[in-house]
Amino acid sequence: MRSETSSTRDRDAAAFAVREVIELLEVLWAQGRDVTPTAPVSTSQLRVLYILDRGQGINLRTLGEELGSAPSSVSRMCDRLHALGFIRRSPSSASRRELELRLSGRGRNYLKDLRARREKALLGVVTAMSPAERAALVDGLSGFRTAARPAPEAGEPHAGAAETA
């Protein structure tokens, strides 16, 4: 009974800490919009780019399922990203009626640059941590990222630790 209460307290403390970190990151992103602007894409469009970065060659239906969005909304977002040159559409190898969506070179470069600018903005905070705290942060965030990923469908390989978003 005692270990169950302790486990519940640990779980609740972890959830509280994660929420606080997320709120702090939101504040840091808001303060650093000049340093790390996401323009010319919206937050929703940025999510599309992250999904395509992980899963090249997916169709609109699959993208809509991952976003939890209506097909018309997904289609409009992809139209805008295509107009910016961030994604490419090509006929599906599985079905002539479907299009596959992929990041273009420009889209990959945009994400690479955005991630580098965000990492640079976070470097000051991470540098202020001790080596042991940084190691614990990496371990904890790795576990958090793994737990946050949806379980793979039957027959699908589980995404590796190298995946980033």
pLDDT of residue 129: 92
pLDDT of residue 2: 55
Token couple for 133: 């705290």
Pair 81, 60: CB distance under 8 Å: no
pLDDT of residue 41: 85
Q: What region, left, alpha or beta, does residue 85 occupy, with left being phi > 0 and alpha being psi -120 to 50 degrees?
A: left
Radius of gyration, CA atoms only, the chain: 19
Q: How far apart are CA 89 and CA 103, in angstroms?
A: 9
pLDDT of residue 27: 76
Strands 87-91 vs 99-103: parallel, antiparallel or unpaired: antiparallel
Low-confidence ranges of the chain (pLDDT < 70): 1-4, 29-38, 151-165
Alpha-carbon distance values, 137 to 10, 107, 141 (Å): 16, 29, 6
Token couple for 101: 């969506």
Alpha-carbon distance values, 63 to 20, 54, 68, 72 (Å): 30, 11, 8, 12
pLDDT of residue 3: 63
Pair 29, 21: CB distance under 8 Å: no
pLDDT of residue 77: 92
pLDDT of residue 9: 87
Pair 66, 51: CB distance under 8 Å: yes
pLDDT of residue 34: 61
- φ, ψ of residue 79 in degrees (nearest 5): -60, -45
Q: How far apart are CA 84 and CA 107, in angstroms?
A: 9
